[in-house]
Structure 1
Amino acid sequence: NFFPDTDPNRIDINIEGPLGMNVDATNEMVREVQHRLGGLLQDSRETRESIKNMQVNVGIAATGGFGAGVPSAERARISLNMVDFADRKESSSVTMSKIRDAIGEIPDALIQVQGQEIGPPTGSPVNIEISGPDFGQVERMTREVSQKLREAQFAGRIPGLVDVRDNVSGGLPEYSIRIDHEKARQFGLTLSDIAQTVRIAVNGLEASTFRDGEDEYDIMVRLRKEDRDDLDKLRDLTVSQMGRQIPIVSVADFEEGIGPGRITRLDLLRTATVEADAGPGFSGPQILIQVQDYLDEYRAALPSGYTMKYTGESEDQEESFSFLTLALVISFILIFLVLLAKFNSLIIPFIIVIAVGLSLIGVILGLIVTRTEFSVMVFVGVISLAGIVCINNIVLVEYIKQLMDKGMPRMQAIIEAGSIRLRPVLLTALTTILGLIPLTFGIDIDYIGLLTEMDPAVQFGTESTQFWGPMGITIISGLMFATFLTLVIVPVMYSVFESLTGRVTEAYRSRD
């Protein structure tokens, strides 16, 4: 996963109706969702006691937060704030699953149940971009892909796939004015004259301002609302030209039709998107692989000029992991160069870098045993682990080298350094592991309560564990294995390489 799965403190139920739906109709849709949600809360005591309060917003922007966009009447959101993590009767993930089952499908409504995100915003686990030159074809293919995934979701063909949706919206009613250029020229009218007349009638013209104390109000002149919505009234407009009032229908035809509600372009191609989420207990990459296999035949049969690209969270994850991998490689190179400058030897830096690399075996074993998913926090733990392992090995190898420089035989120097450095290495590992145990396994102590009321209120399995736990497991498991490397494998490797170096040196001297 990109970030570790956590138990969200807030659950959002996003509701979206057809494009152009008024607020009253959206309200009715929200009431239906609330009614079904109320049935769930009445039937499930655990769910009812895990929710602190509910907030309903109608006419919201597409996404929350600063700069989220223009509010739309067809969108609404029901936010459920959960009680404190320790007081929940069930996890938020279980609550989200129950909410999806209770709400089900509502005609003409797109329902999405999602938890509060932790970390920077990312795309959906499943994000499919369909592009092509003709938007009608793109729209058709998008609806087909969306329908296929919904069928797979409800038939159980792709376990864990939830909240399938697309951004293809229904068309909006529009009036088109087709101007006869030849007739307009005969009357001496330009396109600007006709457009300005229609614009003033619909949008209005600021004629003056009205002052009320220190406040100013614009006085707009335009048609009444009922006339602006009446195509016959718009046909009665006249265009002024040299003192003459020319009926607009003399030079133009009015057509009533449906226009696209939204057109998105990607690399100059018209694009639509199909999205879906991963249910509790399922990782985004795991769901994406199943979706790719399921749509493989459909993708292969796309017409020429049309593409279907998988982006979203997987693309963000690939970019982030590539960056962190590069950072890890660069850190290894820098460690090697610094050690090379310090010891003036290729052998010691090579041994220490190998020890750091071998410590990853402990990391992998720790992740397997604890069934922890690989995420960004594991990468952060690996980079932190590399620094700890380097320090322990540098101190040990440097002490061996100092003893050998004083004339002590190699094997005796290795044994002496190992016995002397045994306690510091073990204490370093032990203090680091003990310090990370509360963060990793969620041991929380109320020190204020301990000092004021002698009540520590010890709590196990805290909220922060879900996010920081993978990093702690990485460092602990890697450090336990690296301690064995430092005390046993590294001295053996040093002895072997020193022995080989001595033999190679003697061989060259014998040739001379």
Structure 2
Amino acid sequence: WLQRVYLPVLRFVTIRRWVTVGIAALVLVGTVAMVPRLETNFLDASGQNTLSLQQEMPAGTSLEATDAAARQVEEVLADIPEISTYQVTVGGGTGMAALFGGGGSDAASFSLTLDEDADATEVEGTVRDRVAGLGDVGEITVGAGGGGFNTSQLQVNVQASNQDDLLTASDLVRETVEGVDDVTDVTSDLSESVPRVRVAVDREAAAALGLSEGAIGQLVAQTFRGAPVGELTIGEERRDVVLRTVEAPATPEEVRELALPTPAGPVRLAEVAEVSEIEGPVQLKRIDGARSATVTATATSQNIGATSAELSRALDGIDLPAGASYSLGGVTADQDDAFADLQLALLLAVAIVFIIMVGTFRSLVQPLILLVSVPFAATGAVGLLLVTGTALGVPALIGMLMLIGIVVTNAIVLIDLINQYRDRGMGVREAVMEGGRRRLRPILMTAAATIFALVPMALGITGDGGFISRPLALVVIGGLVTSTLLTLALVPALYTIVENGRERIASRAERRRDRGESGGEATTEGAAPTE
């Protein structure tokens, strides 16, 4: 019954060849028209089962106050049924920062694990709405992808030659990002500042007392940190031994009263330096040697490509201070790099497949006919992504890469059998009809086996990796459906056009050769009686 359905189609495409090609061209144009409607992202967050939450308290907040604020957030998380477990880390600074009081006591990080059936995007919105109603909990950002990997985090890196210009440019960029649709949780790592004590040494006064700027700085530093004098082993643990002569100053006034030893006797720090309290940034960052700041935001839409494009247009309209610049980072840069690499991989895959088929078929034309299946695989892939509302991301592009090797196999087995019939002396149309009839069932069986094997992935029942496997499966399934159908119709039409054209060219060449031979014989026969 399959052949009874297919043979009339095969007769039509081998007779109305250019009509078939025209229909295929319209399908291809429609595919191109659908592409701009696709949403694009880096990795789809809807299939993930983890969320991350960052809580930032005002700079200098004590660990106890941060812990109390984090407990308020914990109470909210405990009331959300879709959250299976959560883990919170308050503070967590290590090394020198922790030893001298800068160990991140004003920050807390949460890692949330969701139920298997939970929608990460919906839960993310629920968490954001509920924590927004809390008071005195600092600044909270919510994003998908636990463990520090966030598939929806937008970043704008701002650079300037000095701190004042950097602060101005950072504020302008932050205001611009806040005005972009589908963007929330906008923060800047320059938005926080902490009070600092600045000691400006009067070099002439210090030199008169036999002190240098470096010596004064070392003495002040030892007052706060102490002087390491050795190590002590307690059990299996080794600890540093630090000698402190006085308690560390707690106020600028106490810093001014620090006693500095000189050959003429101790003097107050205020006699050789100006001590003042200033506001300073929490951190200093440089990119390629230039002072830098990062404005971070979370995209609430799955269409990261459209959000990034709108953000770029908005940033193009701002007037930054002279010497200041910005560049897009975060998921925008990750997506651009991944798409560029995968597009290059797609081109290389097509080239490799073409070279292999040229060597196999010993022809340049027939491999081109086989590669016609590749662009029509995009028809089903794009269509199924649109129907299911799935964004085009890295997993989907990997599926496209797989399709290049999969879809040409059906065309190969069809053309190979047709060529065998042609070698046995069959005519072009007869060989196409017979080859198509006999290869119909194997082609459909191969495609159906692959499609049904991918159905579990397409339905998202593959567990935590669904955010990768589902788009890939949808692309391969949709591409196989359309490429198989068009292979069974378009490839026979193109093969008939090419081979009929080749036979006509060969026939004309043979007729010209015959006319040339017959003309030469007539001239020779006519010359003999004259002689």
Aligned to 1:207: 229
Query: If you compute each CA radius of gyration, which structure gives the higher value, 1 or 2?
Result: 2
Structure 2: how far apart are the matches of 1:347 and 1:211? Answer: 80
Q: Of 80, 83, 102, which aligns to 1:51?
A: 83
Distance 1:34 1:215, change over 3 A: closer
Distance 1:26 1:333, change over 3 A: same
SS across alignment from 1:309:
strand
Q: 2:59, 2:193 within 8 Å by CA — same for their partners in 1?
A: yes
1:258 positional shift: 2.3
Aligned to 1:258: 279
Distance 1:108 1:291, change over 3 A: farther
Once the two structures are superposed, residues 248-297 of structure 1 have per-residue CA deviations (whole angstroms, 9 ceiling, x without a partner) of 44433323322222222223332222222122x54222323333445553
1:420 positional shift: 1.6
Q: 1:6, 1:467 within 8 Å by CA — same for their partners in 2?
A: no
Task: Describe how 1:122-271 pairs up with structure 2 within 5 A.
Answer: 124-147=152-175, 149-150=177-178, 152=179, 158=181, 160-210=182-232, 217-225=239-247, 227-240=248-261, 245=266, 247-271=268-292
Distance 1:127 1:211, change over 3 A: closer
Task: Describe how 1:115-126 pairs up with structure 2 within 5 A.
Answer: 115-117=144-146, 121=149, 124-126=152-154
Aligned to 1:65: none
Q: 2:354, 2:371 within 8 Å by CA — same for their partners in 1?
A: yes
Letter in 1 for 2:85: N
Q: 1:4, 1:373 within 8 Å by CA — same for their partners in 2?
A: yes
Does 1 or 2 have the higher relative contact order (CA < 8 Å, sep 6+)? 2
Aligned to 1:447: none
Structure 1-normalised TM-score? 0.82
1:481 paired with 2:482, answer: yes
SS across alignment from 2:447:
helix
Letter in 1 for 2:497: V
Letter in 2 for 1:174: R
Structure 2: how far apart are the matches of 1:266 and 1:213? Answer: 44
Aligned to 1:92: 120
Once the two structures are superposed, residues 408-450 of structure 1 have per-residue CA deviations (whole angstroms, 9 ceiling, x without a partner) of 2222221221122111111101111111111112457xxxxxx
Once the two structures are superposed, residues 374-422 of structure 1 have per-residue CA deviations (whole angstroms, 9 ceiling, x without a partner) of 1111111111111122222122212211221222222222122112211
1:211 positional shift: 5.6
1:20 paired with 2:60, answer: yes
Structure 2: how far apart are the matches of 1:123 and 1:80? Answer: 15
SS across alignment from 2:372:
helix
Aligned to 1:439: 457
1:215 positional shift: 5.6
Structure 2: how far apart are the matches of 1:178 and 1:495? Answer: 89
1:502 paired with 2:503, answer: yes
Structure 1 spans left out of the alignment, 5+ residues: 42-46, 63-69, 445-461
Aligned to 1:347: 365
1:318 paired with 2:336, answer: yes
Letter in 2 for 1:206: P
Once the two structures are superposed, residues 128-168 of structure 1 have per-residue CA deviations (whole angstroms, 9 ceiling, x without a partner) of 22222232232234234434544x4xxxx72x322222211
Structure 2: how far apart are the matches of 1:345 and 1:213? Answer: 79
Aligned to 2:526: none
1:290 paired with 2:290, answer: no
Aligned to 2:35: none
Structure 2: how far apart are the matches of 1:248 and 1:61? Answer: 32
Q: 2:44, 2:151 within 8 Å by CA — same for their partners in 1?
A: no
State the Cα RMSD in Å: 2.9
Letter in 1 for 2:83: I
SS across alignment from 1:53:
strand
Once the two structures are superposed, residues 163-199 of structure 1 have per-residue CA deviations (whole angstroms, 9 ceiling, x without a partner) of 2222114322222222222233333333333233223
Q: Alignment length, in residue pairs?
A: 465
Distance 1:375 1:212, change over 3 A: closer
Structure 2-normalised TM-score? 0.79
Letter in 1 for 2:88: V
Task: Describe how 1:56-71 pairs up with structure 2 within 5 A.
Answer: 56-60=88-92, 71=103
Structure 2: how far apart are the matches of 1:486 and 1:214? Answer: 73
1:278 paired with 2:306, answer: no
Q: 2:183, 2:298 within 8 Å by CA — same for their partners in 1?
A: yes
Letter in 1 for 2:128: R
Percent sequence identity is 27
1:74 paired with 2:106, answer: yes
Letter in 1 for 2:104: S
Letter in 1 for 2:50: R
SS across alignment from 1:113:
strand
1:366 paired with 2:380, answer: no
Q: 1:14, 1:76 within 8 Å by CA — same for their partners in 2?
A: yes
Q: Of 132, 135, 139, which aligns to 1:104?
A: 132
Distance 1:75 1:420, change over 3 A: same
Letter in 2 for 1:481: T
Letter in 2 for 1:181: R
